[in-house]
Amino acid sequence: MADNNLVTKRRRAFKKTTIADPNAKQRSDLLQRRFNAAMPTTHLCGDITYLRTGQGWMYLATVIDLTTRMIVGWQIGERMTTNLVEDALVMAHKAGYVAGNAIFHTDRGSQYTSKQFAAAACRMDVRLSIGEVGVCWDNAVAESFFSTLKLHLLYERKQFATKFDARYEVGHWIETYYNRRRIHSSTGMIPAQAMRQFITRCKHAINPAA
């Protein structure tokens, strides 16, 4: 490859975001690394990542549907707070992407293990599932998404120029590229939004009243 002036993109290591709360209530791992589900809205995962900008850090919280791999909820903020992750889940819930009794799987970061987030999940009829601290494979889908995002948006540079740029570029990339155009091997090489529409049509064809 060097002879042909070809260079592969290498995934870069990024800053750790999981800060466990030692006083948090212990919850079970309901997924046990089973990252595929038969129907959308029933099994979700999420995480937080840092976004470096020339004006300081920004933070991205996500909610990912494990059937379609669609980013159904997301929020970007200047602080890594419980409100940030709650707002991402609320976004998904208000859009109809969270079924009753759905499982939402995350790591053991203090935002996800807080009483505030547990109360919000209860109001939305969501069951919380949590992996082990420092075991990235327990939340592999969320980790993979962040790796893909940074490979696409930050490979040629180390940071976004401004906080506005981070908000705009990440949001645009999620909504216009990742959800609508990027193919996934886990969904038969079908983009996330197209996969959701296909499953919804099949469901209504089998049960028109659904």
Please provide the DSSP assignment of 82-125 as one string. HHHHHHHHHHHHHTT---TTEEEEE--BTTTTSHHHHHHHHHTT
Q: Is residue 35 part of a domain?
A: no
Q: Is residue 15 part of a domain?
A: no
Q: What is the CATH number of the domain that holds 49?
A: 3.30.420.10
Q: Is residue 135 part of a domain?
A: yes
Question: In terms of residue numbers, what domain contains 115?
Answer: 40-206
Q: Is residue 24 part of a domain?
A: no
Within 13 A of 198's CA, how many CA atoms are on the CB side? 11
Instruction: Note the pTM of the prediction, 2 decimals.
Output: 0.81
Apex CA 152: angle with CA 147 and CA 157, to 5°? 100
Q: Is residue 2 part of a domain?
A: no
Between 195 and 6, the more confident residue is 195
Between 142 and 2, the more confident residue is 142
Strand pairing report for 126-130 and 56-65: unpaired
Residue 108 near residue 19 (C-beta atoms within 8 A): no
Q: Is residue 81 part of a domain?
A: yes
Residue with tokens 């070809």: 6
Q: What's the pLDDT tens digit per position in 109-130?
A: 999 999 999 999 999 999 999 9
Q: What's the pLDDT tens digit per position in 33-89?
A: 888 887 889 999 999 999 999 999 999 999 999 998 999 999 999 999 999 999 999
